[in-house]
Amino acid sequence: MIDLANKVYFDKIRYVLSNIPKFDLTNDELIIVLAILLLRENNEQISVLSIQNLTDLDERLIDTCIETLAAKRYLEIVVDKTVVNFSVDNLFNLKEVDTTDVKDIFKIFEDEFARILTQRELVKINEWLKEYERDEIIEALRSASIMNKLNFNYIHKILENNRNE
């Protein structure tokens, strides 16, 4: 389905609207997804500000929804030098995505750090999930916590060292 979704004639907005029950989205998340699709369709830069201008949603709400969409793996955030790219192409995959493990790992990190994770941290965890097993990541987090060095660079080094052993 992803190949079809990238064809010029495929109407992504219509697809999302006609499959709303299929997605695990709140109304605000749905509005943000539609805003991202519209901005991409018009070749406009996607940012929290551009989404806010299009939707009149509060900046904090947009941030929270972006974090949640990334946690659900519907939204992929890729930082390319100075440009941040938002992609919701995962909505067009036919296979069901199990988001409980991803939400769980974010919750574990938030509990360990005793704060809400930033967008950059959520992206980093998503990158790790592509490269490492969930248990490896949690073990690295625990090791960093034991050493009282709770930062993402330290956790990344632990993951790399464990991989090289």
The domain spans of the chain are 2-92, 100-164
- Residue 65: the pLDDT is 92
Domain 2-92, CATH number (from 3.40.50.450, 3.60.60.10, 1.10.10.10, 3.30.360.10): 1.10.10.10
- Residue 102: the pLDDT is 65
CA dist 61 and 59 (Å) reads: 5
Given pLDDT bands bounded at 50, 70 and 90, which one contains residue 8? low
Does residue 130 have a pLDDT over 70?
Answer: yes
Do the Cβ atoms of 75 and 87 come closer than 8 Å?
yes
Fold assignment, 100-164: Arc Repressor Mutant, subunit A (1.10.10)
Question: Between 10 and 58, whose confidence is greater?
Answer: 58
Does residue 165 have a pLDDT over 80?
Answer: no
- Residue 6: the pLDDT is 54
